[in-house]
Chain A
């Protein structure tokens, strides 16, 4: 097997944020996604926590990749990710307690996020540390974008507010983010419950396909870039 070339940073960023987005293209990480996106704030919290872990695990696994052997690589990835998540959880509980009260619920969920394992396997284990960490960061940000988008859509439809509780997560200074968009709104419960998550996610996936197709049909776009750099699964 020939080692894959290291893509440039611009390419990595484009892949993570859009072309190879964890949710919209790879359809990974749906369990934590649907569980926490009742509000945009919760989505943002989960996104930040996941991004931190993805970046750190990308860096660590790329550093260790010289030692790994193919047969035991998966248990080692799992071990590294689980240790990392537990340490982050303990540290935040001890020294960032207020943030932990809001995010604490989501941190153990990160371990269940197969996207982290997926990136470890398909990118970090084959690439130098810096691009691997950057890839983790970009994949995490792409995931955060979807989480916030989905959370915002469900929150607006479901309860007529946006970023409710943001001051609890980001501090009172960010309280201005909390908006009531539809005053006296009776709420649309379906959007907040899990089926609503699936529905909105379905629309988002369809929307991305539509947009991609429209972009691909534009003549001046170069098509070669899109097909050459999809990383192996």
Chain B
């Protein structure tokens, strides 16, 4: 059994055997991957939804809503022309806050953010979902490493005034980090743009939710 590869019989070196072998292995691999995908697709989608919910709950505090945040998102055309999914915090049918994604152009690539804004246009919270900034410098935008990102809480387009929505180096009100200016500049810009987006679409975003349920037990919104 030890030396099978070495003393291989002649048929093993023929093309049909090799083709058959490769074909069989490919089929088995494909079948295994298909089964693996089928078995894990459901759980992975659930985990993704849980992750999204966990991120949303950081920018839309649970006190202000009584709905399932993932249940009835809005879709609006975003700044870049791509559709933007907006998650709404509802108290009854009243919109108390919205959360949506934003992208800043960081030093080493896009910085993806999630921003929560209440119905009055105040920032409820901003969180970085993913980035590829320099470790040790730019990664202070993550809430687990630094509380810098919390400095947006409660801010509006008027506080600070629009021209001071920038990092200190650019004459604004937000601190930058030692050795990293581009990263916080990108985040400040993305938060400001999100507030502007909210201001532009305030009517649509805060209109009482019309939820069409297929369940006849549900009360019809007035």
Task: List chain A positions with a Cβ less than 8 A from chain B.
Answer: 1-3, 6, 38-39, 65-72, 75-76, 79-80, 82-83, 86-87, 90-91, 93-95, 97, 101, 125-128, 158-159, 186-187, 189, 192-193
Contacts and interface: CB of A to CB of B under 8 A. Distances in A.
Contacts of A94: 39-40, 43-44, 47
Contacts of A71: 13, 18
B37 A90 contact: yes
A67 B8 CA distance: 9
A66 B32 contact: no
B135 A192 contact: yes
A189 B135 CA distance: 9
Q: Which 4 A-B pairs have the closest CB atoms?
A: A94-B43, A3-B3, A94-B40, A66-B4
Interface string B174-196: 00001100000000000000000
Contacts of B179: 187, 189
Contacts of A76: 21-22, 25
B5 A189 contact: no
A38 B135 contact: yes
B33 interface: yes
Interface residues of B, number: 33
Given A2-B6, A76-B25, A86 B33 contact: yes
Contacts, number: 91
Contact of A66 (B1, B33, B44, B178): B1
B55 to A, nearest CB: 12
Interface in B36-51: 36-37, 39-40, 43-44, 47, 50-51
Interface in B1-18: 1-6, 8, 12-13, 17-18
B29 interface: yes
Say what secondary structure dominates the interface of chain B: helix
Interface in B134-165: 134-137
Contacts of A65: 4-5
Nearest to A65: B5
A31 to B, nearest CB: 17
A83 B136 contact: no
14 contacts: A2-B6, A67-B21, A71-B13, A72-B22, A80-B25, A86-B36, A87-B32, A90-B36, A90-B37, A91-B36, A94-B40, A97-B50, A158-B136, A189-B136
Contacts of B47: 93-94, 97
Given A86-B36, A90-B36, A1 B6 contact: yes
Contact of B32 (A75, A83, A158): A83
A79 B33 contact: no
Contacts of A82: 29
A69 B18 contact: yes
A193 B108 CA distance: 12
A189 B137 contact: yes
A107 B2 CA distance: 32
Given A66-B1, A128-B1, A158-B136, 4 more contacts: A71-B13, A76-B22, A189-B136, A189-B137
A79 B32 CA distance: 12
